[in-house]
Amino acid sequence: MQELSRKEREKINRRNEILQAARKVFASKDYASATIDDIATEAELSKGTIYLYFDSKADLFLSIFEMGMEQLISIMLDSISTNIDDPIAGIKDLIKRQLIFCEENIDLFKIMSSEAAKLDLHCEMAKTGNFHKRIIDIMIQSIKILANYIESGIKIGVFRDISPIDTAFVLRSIVQGFAFKWVMEPEQGKLSDKAEFISTLFLDGLRK
């Protein structure tokens, strides 16, 4: 793998600094009222510098979403590799890790649940296919990883012979639903305490 030049590393670091600033502003002010000026102030950069890296507030929101999804994908891959020969233990571990990730990144999930952000993103998607492709690509990547793992469990006779893709969508929807419900009402207790319930509910339907 070719080593990045100093200039390339600096650009990546600057982009990540802007994303962290945007994440902080969106979480504290809410997406609708946050402005590029607010983000520039938080990042201690000029507004023009922000626009060198991102086209709009919606682009920043989508990039934060992509960064969060990439972190979740990394968690999935680590969980799968740790439990490569035991899909049941792997699914349980994967659910637990995802719920813990949500607990540790509640600000990220608050941003992702913003109706104003979703509306802005929808408008951008209507104007350009690039936004739509970026969302679809990262979502498909995560679903395929999970579907392939479920398929491996089917092949060794642990899981029932049902559609791995559909099953992966079901699991993702269950975990996401619990996560967003908890984000709206975090006083209910630890989200990760729901891991055993979700695992039992899902695996009882999947187990052969």
Q: Is 159 helix (H, G, I), strand (E, B) or coil?
A: strand
To the nearest whole percent, how much of the chain has pLDDT over 90? 65
3-class secondary-structure state, position 83: coil
pLDDT digits (tens, 9 = 90+) for 8-19: 888 999 999 999
What is the model's pLDDT at position 117? 79
Asked whether residue 22 carries a pLDDT value surpassing 90, the answer given is: yes
What are the tokens at 44? 């201690």
pLDDT tens readout for residues 156-201: 999 999 999 999 999 999 999 999 889 888 767 899 999 999 999 9
The pLDDT tens digits of the residues spanning 47-62 come to 999 999 999 998 999 9
DSSP-derived 3-state class of residue 207: strand
pLDDT confidence of 207, banded at 50, 70, 90?
confident
- The DSSP secondary-structure symbol of 56 reads S
Model confidence pLDDT, tens digit, residues 26-46 = 988 888 889 999 999 999 999
Instruction: Please answer whether residues 105 and 99 qualify as being in contact, where contact means their C-beta atoms are separated by less than 8 angstroms.
Output: no
Whether 55 and 36 have beta carbons less than 8 Å apart is answered as no
Confidence of residue 100 (pLDDT cuts 50, 70, 90): very high
Number of Cβ atoms within 10 Å of the Cβ of 206: 20
Give the domains, in start order, of the chain with CATH numbers. 1-54 (1.10.10.60), 57-206 (1.10.357.10)
CA dist., res. 208 & res. 201, Å (int):
14
pLDDT exceeds cutoff 80 at 96: yes
156 is written with which tokens? 């060794």
Tell me the C-alpha distance between 60 and 130, whole Å.
14
Q: 18 to each of 10, 25, 124, 181, how far by Cα in Å?
A: 12, 10, 20, 28
Predicted TM-score of the model (pTM): 0.85
- To the nearest whole number, what is the mean pLDDT of the chain? 90
Provide the pLDDT for residue 1. 53
Residue 194 burial (C-beta neighbours within 10 Å; 0-12, 13-18, 19+)? buried
Q: What is the pLDDT of residue 108?
A: 87
Contacts of 98-104 with CB under 8 Å at 24 or more apart are 98/72, 98/175, 98/179, 99/175, 99/178, 99/179, 99/191, 99/192, 99/194, 99/195, 99/198, 100/191, 100/192, 101/71, 101/72, 101/75, 102/179, 102/182, 102/183, 102/191, 103/182, 103/190, 103/191, 103/192
Q: Is the pLDDT of residue 122 over 90?
A: no
149 in Cβ contact with 159 (< 8 Å)? no
- pLDDT of 2 higher than 70: no
Q: How confident is the model at residue 132 (pLDDT cuts 50, 70, 90)?
A: confident
What is the distance between the alpha carbons of residues 27 and 10, in angstroms, rounded to a whole number?
A: 26
- The tokens for 208 are 């052969």
